[in-house]
Each structure stands twice: as structure tokens, then as C-alpha cells.
């Protein structure tokens, strides 16, 4: 039984990596060179958190750190900082995942929202202290709100398409996987 379980976890991790690659690819497509008046959601973050709350073992720390660092480098952000903040947010949510398991989606959404808000504020705060050029505040806030709005959709899609669900007591891979 363990043979059937191990590949499933690794498959989901590979899928996560693949989704990250697709997101970078879509971001890099040279479609529009005009400075946008709006900012879309950070789907990668929503995806990471949605998975972290449901199945923390699908998003191991090292994998997330590597993907986030890669995104920092490719998407022209200050390298490392946003990745570090993402990892911190991930661990916060991972620690709360056990208690969130029995609560409603609204509670989960609230937890993710508060984490995201703190992350965005911390990011801008650190950049301001170190006097790094940063994007207009409006765009950052817009991205934050868009990410929060996109979160339920991302969670729903991961649930429906990829089968990322909360562990139920009777699940095969949770009970026998440890045995």
C-alpha cells in the first residue's frame, strides 16, 4: 500500500512544480508592453496556500522556497525577499492547517487573508526601510485584493481538478501511509 501512496505525494509535488512553471510562462508571454493600470492576482501564492491548508505534505518547504526564488529571479523582483516571506507565510498556515481542518471555508479564507495582508505589509515595509524602488502602493493593494478574491476559485479548482482535499479520518493515504 505504501507503494501506491508515495508516488501520489510525489506526483502532486511534481504537479505543483509544473503549475509554477506554467504560471511563470504565462507571465513572461510578451503580449502587452503597456504599463497596466491594474494588477492581476498572484495565482502562485493562492495555489500554494490553498494546498498548504488542505494537504501540507504536497507543498514541502524546500520546493516552495526554490520555486518562489526562481520566480523572484525571473520576474524581476528583489531576489530572495518575497520568497522568504512566502516561506514564512506558508509555515504559518501549515501550523494552523491542523486546526483549520475542522472549520468552515470562511474561517480558512479569513486565515489566508490575514496572512496575505501581513505578508504584503511586511514586504513593503522592508523595501521602504532599505530604500528599494518599489511599485505604486495602489498596484500592490490591487494585487492583494485580487489574490484574495481569486483564492476561493483556486481552492475550488484544486479541489475539483487535482483532487487536493482536506484529509478525512478514513482516507487510505493518511492512515496507511504512516504505517
Partner 1 sequence: MAKDRGQSEDYSGPLKRLLLGVVLLCLLGLFLLWRIDSPRVERFRAQVVDRVVPSFDWAMAPVTGAVNIVRDFQSYQRMYQQNQDLRRELQQMKAWKEAALQLEQENARLLDLNNVQLDPRLTYVTGVVMADSGSPFRQSVLINVGSRDGIMDGWAAMDGLGLVGRISGVGRNTARVILLTDTSSRIPVTLQPSGQRALIIGDNSIAPLVDFIETPDQVRPGDRVLTSGDGGVFPAGLLVGQLAEDPGGRMRVRIAADYERLEFLRVLRSYATEEIETPGDLISPSSLPDAQPLDPAIAAEASNG
Q: Which residues contact partner 1 by CB under 8 A?
A: 24-25, 27-36, 38-40, 61-62, 65, 69-70, 73-81, 83-84, 87-88, 91, 98, 130, 132-136, 139-140, 143, 169, 178
CB nearer to partner 1: give 79 or 163: 79
Q: Which is nearer to partner 1, 132 or 156 (CB)?
A: 132
And the C-alpha cell for 13? Answer: 509535488
CA nearest to 74, candidates 33, 20, 110:
20
Residues contacting residue 21 through CB under 8 Å, at least 6 positions apart? none
| Cβ neighbours, 10 Å, residue 110 | 13
Going by C-alpha positions, the residue among 65, 137, 49 that lies closest to residue 100 is 49
* Residue 44 · residue 151 · CB < 8 Å: no
Choose between 156 and 171: whose C-beta lies nearer to partner 1: 171
Q: Quick check: helix, strand or coil at residue 122? A: helix
Q: Which is nearer to partner 1, 34 or 106 (CB)?
A: 34
Amino acid at each position: 500500500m505504501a507503494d501506491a501512496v508515495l508516488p501520489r505525494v510525489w506526483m502532486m509535488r511534481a504537479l505543483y512544480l509544473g503549475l509554477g512553471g506554467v504560471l511563470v510562462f504565462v507571465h513572461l508571454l510578451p503580449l502587452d508592453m503597456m504599463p497596466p493600470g491594474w494588477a492581476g492576482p498572484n495565482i502562485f501564492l493562492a495555489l500554494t496556500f490553498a494546498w498548504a491548508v488542505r494537504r501540507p505534505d504536497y507543498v514541502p518547504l524546500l520546493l516552495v522556497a526554490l520555486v518562489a526564488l526562481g520566480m523572484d529571479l525571473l520576474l524581476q523582483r528583489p531576489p530572495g525577499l518575497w520568497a522568504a516571506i512566502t516561506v514564512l507565510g506558508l509555515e504559518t498556515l501549515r501550523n494552523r492547517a491542523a486546526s483549520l481542518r475542522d472549520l468552515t471555508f470562511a474561517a480558512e479564507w479569513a486565515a489566508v487573508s490575514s496572512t496575505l495582508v501581513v505578508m504584503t505589509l511586511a514586504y513593503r515595509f522592508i523595501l521602504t526601510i532599505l530604500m528599494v524602488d518599489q511599485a505604486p502602493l495602489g498596484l500592490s493593494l490591487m494585487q492583494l485584493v485580487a489574490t484574495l478574491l481569486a483564492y476561493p476559485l483556486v481552492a475550488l479548482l484544486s479541489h475539483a481538478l487535482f483532487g487536493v482535499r482536506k484529509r478525512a479520518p478514513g482516507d487510505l493515504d493518511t492512515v496507511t501511509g504512516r504505517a
